[in-house]
Structure 1
Amino acid sequence: MRLVFRVASGTGPATKEVYKLLNDLKLDSPVVNTLVGYSIEDSDIVIVVGDDKTILRSIFELGNRGVPVLGVSEDPTRGFLSQCTINELRYAINNIQKGMYSVEENTRLEVRVDDDKVVPAVNEAAIFPHISATLMEYTLSINDEMIWRDYADGVIIATPLGSSAYSLSAGGSLIHHDAPVFEIVPVNSIDITRRPLIVPNNSVITIDGVSSRHGVEVVIDGLARLPVKERIAITKNEVPCRFIHVDGPSSILSKIEKKIHLAEELLRIPPSAKLIIKILEYEGPLTYRDLVKRTMLPERTIRHALNVLVSRRLVAKKPLLRDARQKLYYLPTHLSSFNR
């Protein structure tokens, strides 16, 4: 068995900590900052050091290789997908070497766009207009049976693991991670009868007749954006994502309670603030001017929403490196872990 370390940065503190640990344990393990094109064997375990987005990106880079992943958080507080912190990594490696670990399998989506490109998704496939705050039209079918025609801000198809991510903040249900189902969540539909729908995970979910004034795209786990011309077909990916656990049963259920409290906090903020969170989630850090352009909301509304978000610590800000007079707004770790 070989341990392969994947870190977000090749020169950051976490990388130095990993090299120090490998030296202390006398391990000859490769350390890489991407898994794209890297030769991974079936017997390998990939240890990913970073936040939940880094872990998701690593699984995305692995494609359908199905290699078990141990998520390691750089922060004292574990992310949703991480099993331990960087300070606990030595203990985790010792347990892995002794065979004292388990592997949890989680179902993924297989997303086929316009009968062409196929990509896997751990959490969700989020289908939205290219420009925020505009409506899109689509038809939902399950196993070739039409369910509804809808006008909405978008629609999310989520796995059980992803049900506690973006779909939860959009009004979806929490689903036990072992349940053999997928969830379909309309986002801000103009028809109040359009509610979240749970379907068996052996279903073929089709979103077709897709249209919007500015075009439509599908966002995979907040990582990959693909333009959609007409149709998306979603099925169960035959290769699950696999997570290493070194402390007995999965810690996912214990983390859901924290997400529920955070979801309740998000329900109390105005719609403009929710829109800003969604845009920061998928666009990354943005300046005030960027947010005005992306949301197309009045500047007064943007200022009020940012004041609410910053005061509640749902959004953080820091000076822009190239111009300290401007601020860069971004999602703090606890909220990016919530959405991802």
Structure 2
Amino acid sequence: MNLPSDARNSSDPAHRALRFSHVAIVGKYQAPGARNAVDEIAHFLHEQGCDVSLERETALNTGLLQYPALDVSAMGKVCDLALVVGGDGTMLGIGRQLARYGLPLVGINQGRLGFITDVPFEAYREILPPILRGAYQEDARALMAAKVWRDGRCVFEATALNDVVVNRGGVASMIELRVEVDGHFVANQRADGLIIASPTGSTAYALSAGGPLLHPAIGGWVMVPIAPHTLSNRPVVVPEQSEIAVEIVSGKDASVNFDMQSLTSLLHGDRIVVRRSEYALRLLHPVGWSYFDTLRKKLHWNEGT
């Protein structure tokens, strides 16, 4: 049935042409029900007129081989949008890889918290159509680029969206860290470790260690000591242009991890250098989205009032 001309030209998002016509789906394929969820969303996208591809590991592990399977590089080059179906960990893993391509992402939450996968699975049919047609709010999240230097050589490097965490080993003793910001000595800290978190990561490990919540529009990092020996050693927020260097002075079996998804062991004298990455993650939210709505819901504020 043809629509009247006033309806075809309506500014209603439901009647607009697709802004994103080729959509890739990334699923948390290890989770129960993941196959059905990915397949259901893929069918829905076809109904909306989209071409659909699956991230290669998602396709192989769900057995949904009727859709084109793309690796990260191909997704970044040929797709207009990526839907991440899972939790924040799934978004962290794929977001770090796709950020360099400037591909926008929408997170559909099937995890527990969902600070950055904030579209409830049960509501995607109502929320996605306007986004697909260009009615959305965009939210850029800065990434951190980190390197481990040993004897003047870079022995490990990684990017992080949430945090870079220097930890002591399993031995019940503190480690001593020399901390510098932009080449200026800050302090020698004796603690269980140190968290360097982005505003995105301020709701993760840094929050449980007593760090502040940083709005994602704030350009800064927060350094949060883990169980410091000196109680006056408090979290510090520094500008995002800053370069933070952490040197291992003493302690056993220290390590550094990046978004809790990759790690490397450290030796005395190793330096972990963290600076802003040249890439940022593009997150899309429905119109009217508010960071404070997310905090209130996920942190259970105002319950019982």
Q: TM-score range with shorter-chain normalisation? A: 0.7 to 0.9
Which of residues 25, 28, 44 is equivalent to 1:8?
28
Deviation at 1:261, TM superposition (A): 5.3
Alignment of 1:199-218 (within 5 A): 199-213=238-252, 215-218=253-256
Q: 1:194 to 1:130 in 2, by over 3 A?
A: same
Instruction: Report whether the alignment pairs 1:225 with 2:263.
Output: yes
Question: Where does structure 2 lack aligned partners over 5 or more consecutive residues?
Answer: 1-19, 59-69
- Percent identity over paired residues: 26
Match for residue 54 of structure 1? 90
- Written as runs of structure 1 = structure 2, the 5 A alignment for 1:84-163 is 84-114=119-149, 115-131=154-170, 133-163=172-202
The equivalent of 2:277 in structure 1 is 237
C-alpha spacing 1:47/1:142, structure 2 compared with 1 (3 Å): same
Counterpart position of 1:176: 215
Shift in Å, 1:85: 1.9
- Amino acid paired to 1:225: L
- Give the CA deviation at 1:63: 5.3
Contact 1:140 1:146 in 2 (8 A): yes
Q: Which amino acid aligns with 1:243?
A: L
* Contact 1:42 1:67 (8 Å CA) reproduced: no
Distance of 1:240 and 1:88 partners within structure 2 = 27
1:161-185 CA distance string (max 9 Å, x none):
2112110110111122211111001
Q: Distance in 2 between matches of 1:234 and 1:130?
A: 21
Structure 1 Cα separation of the partners of residues 198 and 282 of structure 2: 14
Moved more, 84-93 or 181-190: 84-93
Where in structure 1 are there 5+ consecutive unaligned residues?
A: 263-340
Once the two structures are superposed, residues 127-163 of structure 1 have per-residue CA deviations (whole angstroms, 9 ceiling, x without a partner) of 1023264321110001111110111100000111211
- Describe the SS at the equivalent of 2:242: coil
Give the conservation status (yes or no) of the 8 Å contact 2:99–2:279. no
Please give the alpha-carbon distance, in whole angstroms, between the structure 1 residues aligned to 2:121 and 2:300.
26
CA deviations 1:91-132 (Å, max 9, x no partner) are: 333213321112211122111122343222111111102326
Query: Which of 77, 87, 107 matches 1:71?
Result: 107
Partner deviation per Cα, 1:260-315 (whole Å, 9 max, x = no partner)? 558xxxxxxxxxxxxxxxxxxxxxxxxxxxxxxxxxxxxxxxxxxxxxxxxxxxxx
Match of 1:57, SS? helix
Flag the structure with larger Rg: 2
CA distance in 2, matches of 1:257, 1:97: 27
Q: CA RMSD in A?
A: 2.4
